Amino acid sequence: MIVLEWLFLTIAPCDAAEPWQLGSQDAATPMMQGIIDLHHDIFFFLILILVFVSRILVRALWHFQKEKNPIPQRIVHGTTIEILRTIFPSIIPMFIAIPSFALLYSMDELVVNPAITIKAIGHQWYRSYEYSDYNSSDEQSLTFDSYTIPEDDLELGQLRLLEVDNRVVVPAKSHLRIIVTSADVLHSWAVPSPGVKCDAVPGRLNQTSISVQREGVYYGQCSEICGTNHAFMRAPGKIGRLLSPLWLSRTTQGASHPRSKLLQRAAGAVWSRGARQ
């Protein structure tokens, strides 16, 4: 019973890493679901190959040991077996490559008209986020910094080395465009549940598109070694309904916030665009 409970806890759906976790985090986008399905399919055939090769190896060790065959046979050439052992291993990567390339190219597809665009800027050792669609010259731009919360300041239920003081909040079931860059050294913006990993290169803009299908809080990290505090660069985000008072309250902490008017206009624009999609 204890073993079953341990196994259930390790494979239960989650949006953050867990102790002794086996497998990937629960998929939040069709792209991540495709990655998980491809992994499972390949792993199934790997198990078959492992069983087949192990059986041949064990059978050879059992039947051709010294006690059973004191005088070994001298076989130096076998045309048939050499052809088979060359053809079959070459066919297997071809079957793996077809779905792999299809998934790889689909990950590079970009949305022409996204509901919202977010710019993520890496720093040593924090991130800045900018809702690029809603900046204006007459009001304060919608930008904020996101720092990892120190362990001593964590509240009950918050995850160690994963929580930040300002989360990115985006709508669910909408096409999102993420623009990633860096202000100093190489970083990488990676969030496992949506299946996103994009390098942040100084002086260069990289972009990726995601479409999160369910609400939740998704935890990410910098996956490119960027210096002493690399382990403290996190990228959690909250996925809410088609934008709403929840998004405004979590981002502005009230109507008196200096960015509240800009956020309300941004939420209205995203709502109308998301509803059309």
Q: Is residue 15 part of a domain?
A: no
Q: Is residue 183 part of a domain?
A: yes
DSSP per-residue string spanning the chain: -HHHHHHHHHHS--SS--TT--SPPPP-SHHHHHHHHHHHHHHHHHHHHHHHHHHHHHHHHHHTSTTT-SS-------HHHHHHHHHHHHHHHHHHHHHHHHHHHHHT---SS-SEEEEEEEETTEEEEEEGGG--SSS--SEEEE-BPPGGGPPTTPPTTT-BSS-EEEESSSEEEEEEEESSS-EEEEETTTTEEEEE-BT--EEEEEE--S-EEE--EE-S--STTGGG-B--EEEESSS-HHHHHHHHSSTTSTTHHHHHHHHHHHHHHHHH-
145 in the same domain as 96: no
**Pairwise CA distance, residues 170 & 176, whole Å:** 8
User: Total structural domains in the chain?
Assistant: 2
Q: Is residue 210 part of a domain?
A: yes
Q: Is residue 140 part of a domain?
A: yes
Q: Is residue 23 part of a domain?
A: no
pLDDT in tens, the chain (277 residues): 444 444 434 444 457 777 787 878 888 888 888 888 899 988 988 999 899 889 988 888 887 777 777 776 676 677 888 888 888 888 888 888 888 888 888 887 777 788 888 888 888 888 888 887 766 555 556 788 888 888 888 888 778 888 888 888 888 888 888 899 998 888 888 888 888 888 889 989 988 888 888 888 888 888 888 888 887 777 666 555 444 433 444 444 433 444 444 445 555 555 555 445 4
142 in the same domain as 102: no
Q: Is residue 12 part of a domain?
A: no
Q: Is residue 267 part of a domain?
A: yes
Handedness of CA 66, 68, 72, 78 (dihedral sign): negative
CATH number of the domain bearing residue 226: 2.60.40.420
Q: What is the pLDDT of residue 267?
A: 52
- Among 30, 18, 28, 36, smallest CA distance to 216 is for 28
223 in the same domain as 183: yes
Show the domain range for 100.
Answer: 28-66+76-106
85 in the same domain as 128: no
Q: How many CB atoms lie within 10 A of CB 144?
A: 16
Cβ(219)–Cβ(162) below 8 Å: yes
Q: What is the pLDDT of residue 237?
A: 63
**Pairwise CA distance, residues 156 & 125, whole Å:** 25
119 in the same domain as 55: no
223 in the same domain as 121: yes
Q: What is the pLDDT of residue 245?
A: 38
137 in the same domain as 90: no
123 in the same domain as 38: no
Q: Is residue 87 part of a domain?
A: yes
- What amino acid occupies position 183? A
234 in the same domain as 122: yes
189 in the same domain as 84: no
**Pairwise CA distance, residues 212 & 173, whole Å:** 6
140 in the same domain as 91: no
